[in-house]
Amino acid sequence: MSTRFVIAGTPAARGMTLGRARLVEPTQIGVDERPLPEAEVEAEVARLQGALAHARDELRQLREKLHGALAREVGEFIDAHSLILEDPELTEGLYALIRQGRYRASAALKRQRDRLVAAFEAIDDPYLRSRREDVDHVIGRVQAALARDTTPAERQIASRVGTVLVGETVAPAELAHLTEHGVLGVVTTGGSPLSHSAILARSMRLPMVVGAHEALRHITDDDLLLVDGTSGEVVVHPTAQDLARYRQFQREQARSVEQLARLKHERTRTRDGVEIALYANAELPADIAQARACGAAGVGLYRTEFLFLQRHELPDEEEQFAAYRDLVLGMGGAPVTIRTLDLGADKADATGLALGQEPNPALGVRGVRLAMRRPALFATQLRAILRASNYGLVRILVPMVTTGEEIAVVRALIEDCARELRSGGHEIADHFELGAMIEVPAAAIALPSLIRQLDFIAIGTNDLTQYLLAVDRNNDQLATLYDPLHPAVLRTLHEIIAVGTRARKPVTLCGEMAGDPRYTALLLALGLTAFSMHPSSLLEVRQAIAGCDRAQLLGLRIALLRAQSRAGIERVLRRMR
């Protein structure tokens, strides 16, 4: 009988899910080489028969799910694997090894695999010799079935639920792809709650636990898992009590979704009647549709990188113009802030850009620094953005700014592009608002002088926190040090907001803090009146704002800024609730 146990990790994306474990890179399955006692022979044969039957059933189910071209391309391999499992030479040889050689099932599989592979290696025909991989795949599937420790009741539940991905790490692109194929949650042995994958998981409402160091050691394929992305716990072989807790969570979640749906067309304002602007972060058409459906005031951060990623050629002006125009039209007249290209050497390999290797891409040629070194590339993007401005209110946001000289160069280039476009007969807006991402500490400190050259500012708390604390937000060993509630971070945020307010320039916060309802009251207390977040967080934050009294929160600001530690800040936060 399987025994319940809990693996502790770090919460990365809230929520709870139940699913079958699917190992991304299964650990090497151990082979028990101990001699088998005679009394256990028939039980071991039965165990192997059960594993073979399970492997055959898996292949049958997989074959039934395939359709069209995929059935033709993959079907022959599945059929070949099924034939191997039915081959008497394989099965009878395995039973003989157990009964006569006193091998345990896993050791018998390994020995039979070695025999068959040796036979394939001796074949002269290269094609037939290459089919030894089929033997490896089949034996591996049976070994995995042997290693599983699930009860019939668990298997019955597992057959009705989706998949929980378990691995060392998972790339953002892979995560986005896998969710379309039944992935309900993610557990990784490494990673950080502030990694790009974790950020994506939160935006997709996909429960995720990172830093679960024991996961690959103790979880095998098809184990039933209950993943709690709020507490950071992974329950392996959950009990009836665990399942009851999960059903209660589902009921509460359904009620919450129903309540939030009522807020879609409500105004965003505090309990004492102060209007707050909620914008959406976006990069795909689906984000725009979701933003409008949730009543976003506009797009506060449109990431243009998706046009450049996963391709070998750079998008030309027409392709970029079409994307930006559709964005503006999709928002139906609401303001749209387009951030210029923010790629570094760590991501450039997936684009048509050749930036070379850098020892520390986070501090390297990226954002406006790349724009200064590739003016033709930058001008192409600016021309496309300016042309899209003819279809609605567009603002241009420049990332990684540190000096006033950078702002001046960008503004001059915008004016040059505007003159060329007008001379070429293009209709564009009469005026362009230029803003800077405040994410480098130098820009935050120099903001009183920089802001005179800007029309608005946007705070990027993800990188700003990383740079202020000298902590790599993707390094799981430093996860506890990456702390948005560090006193230095809060004081810097307050100063940025205060400078913008005094200069009467709009200030929007676009980082992860904006979309986390746990920080909503804190940010209001610091004076923030404009948030930008993934569309999936809009309604939750609107609900949090509706429960806040802004005047009361502003009264706690001094206490918040005087706090000397995270513990002191948390004491003030408790007074805000």
Percentage of the chain beyond pLDDT 90 is 49
DSSP conformation letters of 409-431: HHHHHHHHHHHHHHHTT----S-
CA distances to 113, 119, 482, 507 from 132, rounded to whole Å, are 9, 9, 48, 62
Report the amino acid identity of residue 468: L
Position 540 pLDDT exceeds 70: yes
Q: What is the pLDDT of residues 171-224, one digit of tens each?
A: 665 665 566 567 889 999 988 887 777 887 887 889 999 999 999 888 888 888
pLDDT of residue 107: 85
319: number of Cβ within 10 Å? 13
pLDDT of residue 72: 45
**Three-state DSSP state, 340:** coil
Percentage of the chain beyond pLDDT 70 is 84
Under the banding of pLDDT at 50, 70 and 90, the label for residue 390 is very high
- The answer to whether 184 and 162 are in contact (CB under 8 A) is yes
Question: Which residue's entry shows tokens 């001008």?
Answer: 379
DSSP conformation letters of 182-194: TEEEEEESS--TT
Under the banding of pLDDT at 50, 70 and 90, the label for residue 467 is very high
Taking the C-alpha atoms of residue 143 and residue 55, their distance in angstroms, rounded to an integer, is: 9
pLDDT of residue 361: 73
pLDDT of residue 7: 95
Could you tell me the domains of the chain? 41-147 (1.10.274.10), 152-257 (3.50.30.10), 262-576 (3.20.20.60)
Which residues 6+ apart lie within 8 Å of 359 measured at CB? none
CA distances to 195, 318, 488 from 478, rounded to whole Å, are 12, 43, 17
Q: Which residues are catalytic?
A: 196, 510
Q: Return the sign of the alpha-carbon dihedral for residues 256, 258, 264, 269.
A: negative
pLDDT of residue 546: 94
Torsion of CA 474, 341, 509, 266, to 10 degrees: -110
pLDDT of residue 345: 44
The pTM of the full predicted model, rounded to 2 decimals, is 0.71
Position 284 pLDDT exceeds 50: yes
Taking the C-alpha atoms of residue 472 and residue 480, their distance in angstroms, rounded to an integer, is: 11
- The answer to whether 452 and 503 are in contact (CB under 8 A) is yes
Under DSSP, the state recorded for 309 is S
Position 306 pLDDT exceeds 90: no
Position 147 pLDDT exceeds 70: no
Buried b (16+ CB within 10 A) or exposed e, 485-499: bbbebbbbbbbbbeb
Pairing of strands 299-303, 336-339: parallel
Taking the C-alpha atoms of residue 446 and residue 404, their distance in angstroms, rounded to an integer, is: 9
Among 375, 376, 385, which residue's Cα sits nearest to residue 406? 375
Phi-psi region of 112 (alpha: psi -120 to 50; beta: other; left: phi over 0): alpha
**Mean pLDDT of all residues in the chain?**
85
- The strand order across the sheet containing 224-228 reads 5-8, 233-236, 224-228, 16-23, 163-167, 183-188, 208-210, 10-13
pLDDT of residue 41: 86
Query: By mean pLDDT, which of 14-28, 74-88, 342-356 is the weakest?
Result: 342-356
Greater pLDDT, 74 or 245:
245
Under DSSP, the state recorded for 36 is P
Taking the C-alpha atoms of residue 482 and residue 193, their distance in angstroms, rounded to an integer, is: 9
Q: What is the mean pLDDT of residues 444-469?
A: 96
For the chain, the helix, strand and coil percentages under 3-state DSSP, each to the nearest 5: 55, 15, 30
Taking the C-alpha atoms of residue 226 and residue 355, their distance in angstroms, rounded to an integer, is: 43
Under the banding of pLDDT at 50, 70 and 90, the label for residue 336 is very high
Query: By mean pLDDT, which of 280-284, 363-367, 478-482 is the weakest?
Result: 478-482
Structure tokens at 276: 């707050």
Q: What is the mean pLDDT of residues 151-180?
A: 66
